Amino acid sequence: MSDLQIDHLGIAVKSIATAQAFYQKLGITPGHEEMVEGEKVRVVMIPTGESRIELLEPTSPDSTIAKFLEKRGEGLHHVCLRVSDLPATVERLKAEGVRLVSDEIKIGAGGHQYVFVHPSSAGGVLIELVQGR
């Protein structure tokens, strides 16, 4: 048994307005934009059943999303998994030698706790881990 769930898929886009237009064609009502100052991004969450799609648009050229767009172009940026005990999971990963982007659990917009696992430890995909509610 696993308590892992896909919380959301993060997609890096040049323009949320353009990207949202596609999802509107699929019948999705446009979500409301949120600024995440710390990450220098504008974010829209699109509900998809139990999961969500997170559209990420940089608000500054030195945002990590801006750098990603420059290097890789638009596309899948990260997969976010929800775990039931984030601190214990982070300790276990560290003990196993898994490379994390930051050693500390961070507090995001809306107060959720998260940490990123480096793609070199996760099959080439940036993994975001969040504490389940």
Binding site for Co ion (CB under 5 A): 10, 54, 80, 128
Shorter beta-carbon distance to Co ion: residue 27 or 110: 110
Shorter beta-carbon distance to Co ion: residue 80 or 83: 80
Shorter beta-carbon distance to Co ion: residue 10 or 31: 10
Q: Whole-angstrom Cα distance, residue 13 to residue 106? A: 23
Residue 121: CB minimum distance to Co ion, A = 18
CB-based contact 57:77 (threshold 8 Å): no
Shorter beta-carbon distance to Co ion: residue 95 or 117: 117
Residue 122: CB minimum distance to Co ion, A = 14
Q: Which residue is nearest to Co ion (CB)?
A: 10
Other beta carbons within 10 angstroms of residue 56's beta carbon come to 23
Residue 30: CB minimum distance to Co ion, A = 19
Q: Whole-angstrom Cα distance, residue 51 to residue 47? A: 6
Residue 128: CB minimum distance to Co ion, A = 5
